[in-house]
Amino acid sequence: MPTYLPVSYQVLNAEAAFFLKESNQDLMRNSSLQARVESFFIQQARRIPSVNASYGPLSVQLPIPLELLQRPGPFNGPSFTSPSSSPSSSSPSLFTYNWKVHTFIISERIHPSWPKVQVLFYVGGRDWDDYTTAHKLPCVRMFAFHETQEVRGTCRLKGELGMCVAELEPLASWFSPPTVRPGRQRAPEQAQGTPVELYYLVQTMEAGECSSEDSKKGSSMRMEHQGPMGYFSGPTPMQHIGSVRLFQPMSEIRVDSNFVVMAPSRPIRQRETVSTFLALSTLSSVQIFTLR
């Protein structure tokens, strides 16, 4: 066995932490009496953890730098200071290592009769609500992208549950069939609707209120991250929520008192494949029918 520095390590102020060993770790990696390297993983922590190293009667303890624990994000910015501290106070920022923003798309099928995209945002994480910072929770800006256009919506996380619902309205042109560009084949049949991708960014509340221009529509796509006016730029990426599908307007043709045929309201081209729907009245007693 190679010689090594017999130092004992402890991770303090962490509810769950593990020392790691690489499966292909070089035996000579710590073959020195001058230095030693250990890898560890912190899973849960309510305070900034520290590492204690002891060698015989000697001991040293240092906090783990925050930038090694969590990336820049909505909950470790300058607005998350201690509730009892003043803006000029030197109190440390809240340690929100376990806090995360979760999303839920309320409806993934969007129709022109009610063209609203709604997404529920809420803060999750271990015991996050033990902190008295509900009044400092940030805003969420949601973006919907279709081809080269974007639509935005906003809401502010608030309350003991730290949640809000952001809403935006797709442009009317988005419900039309996708544009066919020269040299490209026509997109497959759109029975499943036109997909629209959703993303979000988190905006600090240092300005006091959410921005008033969040409902801006129809601008060309801008994927860059905005500067110091409240957005997190640099290493903080725009987060993907998911996608919704926009369905074309449908016309209802009543067959009789039992059935209604729903077909696209736009003109149908020759050899074009379209989808129609047959709806049965909830009051109908028909159990068997023939479709021709």
CATH code, domain carrying 119? 2.60.40.1940
Q: Kindly state the percentage of the chain with pLDDT values over 70.
A: 64
Is the confidence at residue 103, as pLDDT, over 50? yes
Beta bridge partners of 198: 144, 242
Task: Give the residue numbers spanning the domain of 151.
Answer: 100-179+188-246
Same domain, 227 and 154: yes
> If pLDDT is split at 50, 70 and 90, which confidence band does 271 have?
confident
Q: For the chain, percent helix, then strand, then coil, each to nearest 5? A: 5, 35, 60
**Do the domain assignments include residue 231?**
yes
Angle at CA of residue 225, ends 219 and 231, nearest 5°: 105
Same domain, 158 and 208: yes
> If pLDDT is split at 50, 70 and 90, which confidence band does 74 have?
low
Q: Cα(236)–Cα(141) distance, rounded to whole angstroms?
A: 14
Taking the complete model, does pTM exceed 0.75, yes or no?
Answer: no
Same domain, 213 and 239: yes
Query: Which one-letter DSSP state was computed for residue 66?
Result: H
> If pLDDT is split at 50, 70 and 90, which confidence band does 177 have?
low
Q: Cα(229)–Cα(242) distance, rounded to whole angstroms?
A: 26
Q: Cα(35)–Cα(1) distance, rounded to whole angstroms?
A: 17
Radius of gyration of the chain (CA): 28
Same domain, 31 and 121: no
- Which of 69, 84, 116 is where one domain is finished? 69
Instruction: Say if residues 118 and 182 touch (Cβ distance below 8 Å).
Output: no
Domain count for the chain: 3
**Do the domain assignments include residue 29?**
yes
**Do the domain assignments include residue 263?**
yes
Distance of CA 177 to CAs 66, 214, 291, Å? 49, 27, 28
Instruction: Say if residues 109 and 125 touch (Cβ distance below 8 Å).
Output: no
Q: Cα(168)–Cα(246) distance, rounded to whole angstroms?
A: 13
Residue 117 confidence (pLDDT): 96
Same domain, 217 and 265: no
Same domain, 157 and 108: yes
pLDDT tens, residue by residue, 197-209: 999 988 776 645 6
Residue 27 confidence (pLDDT): 63
CA 283 to chain centre: 42
Classify the C-alpha dihedral 59-62-64-67 as positive or negative: negative
